[in-house]
Chains A and B, each alone.
Chain A
Amino acid sequence: MPRNIVILGGGTGGTLTANRLRKHFKPSDAVISVVDKNRYHIYQPGLLFVPFGLAYADDLIRPRERQFKKGIDFYESEVDHVDIEGRKVFLDDGRALAYDALIIATGARIVPEETEGLTGDGWMEKMFTFYDAPGATALARAYNEFEGGRIVVNVADMPIKCPVAPLEFCFLTDWYFQEKGIRDKVEITYVTPLDNAFTKPRAASALAGLLDEKGVKLVTEFNTGEVDGPGGRLISYDEREVPFDLAVVIPVHSGAEFVGRSEGLGDALDFVETDKHTLQSKASPAIFAIGDAANLPASKAGSVSHFEGEILVENVIRFLADKELDASFDGHANCFIETGFSKALLIDFNYNQEPVEGHYPTKVGMPLLKESRLNHLGKLMFQWFYWHSLLPGRDIPGINPDMPTSGKHLN
């Protein structure tokens, strides 16, 4: 009898996991099913470029099913809940899928309605987000028409997907209005709940320095309690205010709603409680989580899903064979940070090692924590790797799940 492997979510983590598992298991050994609520796979890192006219949302979207290898069943449906005891997934349309192993890859979603006032008067007129395609597209129009005033870029609360994207957005905003010749009429302020530009000391100080160099003001420890559209103000819970003419808000994030409806599966924000080294769910040995859906103390970023993929697939195989799991995921993340003017920074880190200077992946690689044109080219090239190498589940030579240390300046 073939085993049933069910994967919830057909984004980065779900797709690469499905393809890697399909390569390993013969059709007679495993039935692999993927469930997603829609048929469109979006290259999320590309959304950053849409407001600046550097990309179009339509070009970032491809049919989901076309990214799967042959022999993967696709179900287009919302998930109602997981019956953890009964090892079954109940779909919205009433169907139930029994599983021997379940992989949750449903990512994180933005919840703008959770912040008072954000989706009220002014939403998509003077308050925007670039974290989905309609928002990024509407923001492109607003930026194109903007003639001057105060722009605030605000992270409502952590955790968010791609924690460096709001900083990249600030750098590109500076570049965009310089190109337009009206930078002197635009005030840019970055408003964050963190106590610096970023969380880890060396990266935070490098990034705060870049904000300063580019004339972007920094407001820290600001927990957004309310967005007042008509009055043009962000208001924090401790009653501080930041005025704006145009606000770019990264809304709070939650996991998928079905996680909350599945007793014992998720945390307070509906992220799956997951072992940070094996990627096994704490609720059941038959459940695993990958990518943004998991509550790991790692970045919510595509690179993390990529690095997790190999270890996750190994562990699903071991679990189905009653073998001990491989506890080797080290929290490795790797992010390009676009800084404008065709340059970018690169950071590489894991659970224990903060981002530092040096080179990646070895001493002769790309410069770390330092602006360069090479990193910018790397960022642009990555889109090709995403569709042709990462999603199909191919290994990229020289890029391994374990964080390399040989090129890093560790002291």
Chain B
Amino acid sequence: MTTTTFADRQVELTDDGFFADPSQWSEDLVPALAAADGIDELTDDHWTVIRFMRKEYLENGTGPNVRAHGKTSGYTEKQLYKLFPKGPAKVAARLAGISKPRGCI
């Protein structure tokens, strides 16, 4: 667990960079979080995906994996990777301030 500052706000992150407490997140943090993940320009498509992740998390307790995401968000898996080249499930989850999507075992 580490404490990091984004947009002058202190937040607790897990060791792999996800929000330890999703209630510390708000939308004004997103540009700074995006920059930290190498995304300099946030498009409307990015925002749609981030809000979708947040909503899924609040309803189901976990963000969707990329395939489920591709079937429900209106974006194909390929488009999601164009938006979040380093991995849509993880990066969009970090930007949406939610915990690491559960790897199903």
Interface residues of A in 290-309 (CB under 8 A from B): 297-300
Listed stretches A63-71, A155-163, A318-326; interface member: A155-163
Which residue in chain A gives the minimum CB-CB distance to B88?
A: A237
Whether B87 and A223, one on each chain, are in contact in the complex, defined by CB atoms closer than 8 angstroms, is: yes
Least CB separation from A158: chain B residue = B104
Contact: B71 with A268, CB < 8 Å?
yes
A298 to B104, CA, bound (A): 7
Q: Among the listed stretches A95-103, A136-144, A193-201, which one makes contact with chain B, having 4 or more residues with CB under 8 Å of it?
A: A193-201
Size of the chain B interface, CB-CB below 8 angstroms = 20
**A157 with B81: CB separation less than 8 A:** no
Contacts known (A238-B86, A238-B87, A269-B71); A157 close to B105, Cβ less than 8 A: no
Chain A residues contacting B104 (CB-CB under 8 Å) are 158-159, 297, 300
Contact: A225 with B78, CB < 8 Å? Answer: yes
22 A-B pairs whose Cβ atoms sit less than 8 Å apart in the complex: A157-B66, A157-B67, A158-B65, A159-B105, A163-B105, A199-B105, A223-B66, A223-B77, A223-B81, A225-B77, A225-B81, A237-B66, A237-B77, A237-B81, A267-B68, A268-B69, A268-B72, A297-B62, A297-B102, A297-B104, A298-B105, A300-B104
| C-alpha spacing A269/B69, complex, angstroms | 10
Bound CA span A73–B6, Å: 63
Query: Which residue of B is nearest A226, CB measured?
Result: B78
Would you call B38 an interface residue if the criterion is a C-beta within 8 Å of the partner chain's C-beta atoms?
no
Could you tell me if B103 and A221 are in contact, using CB atoms closer than 8 angstroms?
no
Q: Which residue of A lies closest to B80 (CB)?
A: A237
A158 close to B103 (CB less than 8 A): yes
A interface secondary structure, majority: loop
**Of B64, B67, B72, B87, which is within 8 A of A221 by CB?**
B87
A122 to B19, CA, bound (A): 44
Residues of B within 8 A of A159 (CB): 104-105
B67 touches A200 (CB 8 A): no
- Please state if A157 and B86 are interface contacts (CB–CB under 8 Å): no
In the complex, the 3 A-B pairs of residues with the closest C-beta atoms, listed nearest first = A159-B104, A268-B68, A237-B81
A147 to B15, CA, bound (A): 45
Whether the pair B103, A194 counts as a contact (CB closer than 8 A) is yes
**Which of B81, B85, B105 lies at the interface centre, i.e. has the most chain A CB atoms within 10 A of its CB?**
B105
Identify A268's interface contact among B64, B78, B102, CB under 8 A.
B64
Are A238 and B85 closer than 8 Å at their CB atoms? Answer: yes
Cα-based distance from A268 to B87 in the complex (angstroms): 19
- Which A154-189 residues have a C-beta within 8 angstroms of B? 157-159, 163
The listed residue (B62, B68, B71, B81) touching A238 by CB distance below 8 A is B81
Q: A299 vs B68: C-alpha distance in the bound complex, in angstroms?
A: 18
Q: Is A252 part of the contact surface with B, judged by Cβ < 8 Å?
A: yes
How far, in angstroms, from A200 to B69 measured CA to CA in the complex?
Answer: 23
Question: Looking across the interface, which residue of chain B has its beta carbon closest to that of A301?
Answer: B105
